[in-house]
Amino acid sequence: MKCNNISFSSFRNIENESLSFSDGVNVLWGRNAQGKSNILEGIYFFARGRSFRGAKEREMIRFSQSAATLSLEFSKEGDRYPVSLSANIPADGRKTLYRNGARLSGSKEMMGSFRAVLFCPSHLTLVSGGPALRRSFMDIALSQLYPAYLDSLSRYNRALNQRNALIKKAQGTGKIAFDTMIWDTYAEQMATYGADIFARRLEYMEKLSESIEMLFSEMTLGAEKPSLSYRSSALTDSGDETRDAGKAKLYEALTENIDREIHFGATLYGIHKDDISVRLNSKDAKIYASQGQQRSLALAMKLAEGEMSRKISGEYPVFLLDDVLSELDCDRRAFIMRNLTDRQLIVTSCEPDVFRSMAGGSRLIEICDGKIKEVCDG
C-alpha cells in the first residue's frame, strides 16, 4: 500500500498545502512546532478516523476558520486505479467522509480502506505502561484489518457505558432492585460482542508473538527470547474455549457479581479489563526488563504489527514514525530503518542528514510554519 499524496485546507497550522510521497522513505523535516506532526496526524486520520493525539475534531481546525478539509489518495498493490478519501471537519456539527466522491456513513465504514502503522514516542511505553495502552494497540491494529471487529468493539463499549451508568445510579440511590431485564440485556450484549472480541484478540496475539520473537532474535542476535500472551479477566486464554462457551462464561461473570460491582462503582469483568502479558527470558518484562529492553520490545511490537497486516491483507501498510527515531539509540535506530527499507515510510525528524546517505535514497520535505518549503531527493 502506498500513500500517493495528501491535501490540507485550514488543518491545524496548515492553511492550504498539498504534497506527494515517494514509494520509499519520506522525511518531513524542520525545527520543532512547524507542522511536521500535523501532516502525520492528517494521514493517520484516514487510517483510524480520529486524531492519534487524542484531540477533539474542532481542535484540528485552523484558528478562526469554520472547517478543515483533508484529501488523501492511496494505491493498493494489484489495483488498477488509486482510491481517494476525503473529510470535511466543521467547527459545529459532525464530520463528513467520502471515498471516491461517495459519502460514507461514518468512520467505521472508512476503517480498513487505508491502513497505516503509527509509531510515536508514547508507544515506547507499550511494555512499561498500563493495560489500556496495550488494549488500544490491539484494537487499532485489528480494527484496520477486520471491519466486523470494530463494529463489535463499538457495540460492546456502548453497552459497557450504559451498564456503568446503571451501576452509578444504583450506587447513588442505594437500591439494586432495577428491572432484572435491564441487567440481563446489558450482560447479554457484552457477552456476545465480548466473546467475539476475545477470540479475535487471542488469535492475533498468538501470531503476533511469533513475529515478535523473530524480530527480537534478529535485534539481539538470538541472545534474548520474548513471549507475548493475551490475559483475560473473565475468560480462559488457552484457546480451547469455544466462542459459545466464552459467551456463557462472560455472561455468568456479569450477572453474578452485580453487588460487588455496585460497591466498586464500575463493571469489573469483561474484555475492557484484559491485558497483554509481555515476558522476556520467561520473566515479566514490565518488572524485570531494563528500560532499553522494554523499548526494544515495544519497537518489535510495532514492527510486528506491520508484518501481521501484510500477512493478513497481502500487503504492507504505510509506516508513520513521528519523531520516534530521536528517542532511540544508534543501534535501535539502525535496526528499525533496516526493517523498513522495502515499504513506504513517512517520518518526521529534526535531523535530515541521518537519511541523506540511505541506500536507495529518500525524499526530504522541509516544513516551515505549516508550509512546504522545499522538496528534494536525498
* Cβ atoms of 134 and 126 closer than 8 Å: yes
The pLDDT value recorded for residue 326 is: 83
Give 221's pLDDT tier (boundaries 50, 70, 90): confident
| Higher-pLDDT residue of 333, 208 | 208
CATH homologous superfamily for the domain 126-314: RecF/RecN/SMC, N-terminal domain (1.20.1050.90)
Predicted confidence (pLDDT) at residue 176 exceeds the cutoff of 80 = no
Which residues share a beta bridge with 280? Answer: 226, 283
Mean pLDDT (the chain) is 90
Give 360's pLDDT tier (boundaries 50, 70, 90): low
Predicted confidence (pLDDT) at residue 237 exceeds the cutoff of 90 = no
**What is the Cα 355 distance to its own chain's centre?**
26
The pLDDT value recorded for residue 378 is: 63
Lowest model confidence (mean pLDDT) among 149-158, 176-185, 223-232, 324-333? 176-185
Give 206's pLDDT tier (boundaries 50, 70, 90): very high
What fold does the segment set 1-115+317-378 form as a domain? Rossmann fold (3.40.50)
191: nearest Cα among 220, 228, 232: 232
Lowest model confidence (mean pLDDT) among 64-68, 156-160, 232-236, 319-323? 232-236
Q: Long-range CB contacts (< 8 A, 24+ apart) of 255-263?
A: 255/183, 255/184, 255/187, 258/176, 258/183, 259/176, 261/167, 262/167, 262/170, 262/171, 262/176, 263/171
Within the chain, all domains assigned CATH 3.40.50.300 are found at 1-115+317-378
The pLDDT value recorded for residue 351 is: 81
Calculate mean pLDDT across residues 96-122.
Answer: 94
Within the chain, all domains assigned CATH 1.20.1050.90 are found at 126-314
DSSP string, 7-56: EEEEETTEEEEEEE--SSEEEEE-STTSSHHHHHHHHHHHHHSS-TT---
Within a 10 A sphere around the Cβ of 260, how many other Cβ atoms?
Answer: 10
The pLDDT value recorded for residue 84 is: 97
The pLDDT value recorded for residue 233 is: 79
* Cβ atoms of 68 and 59 closer than 8 Å: no
The pLDDT value recorded for residue 246 is: 84
317: nearest Cα among 332, 328, 302: 302
Lowest model confidence (mean pLDDT) among 174-183, 248-257, 354-363? 354-363
d(CA 75, CA 4): 7
Calculate mean pLDDT across residues 202-227.
Answer: 91
CB neighbours of 309 closer than 8 A, spacing ≥ 6?
A: 115, 117, 141, 144, 145, 316, 317
Lowest model confidence (mean pLDDT) among 94-98, 140-144, 278-282, 326-330? 326-330
The pLDDT value recorded for residue 281 is: 94
The pLDDT value recorded for residue 236 is: 65
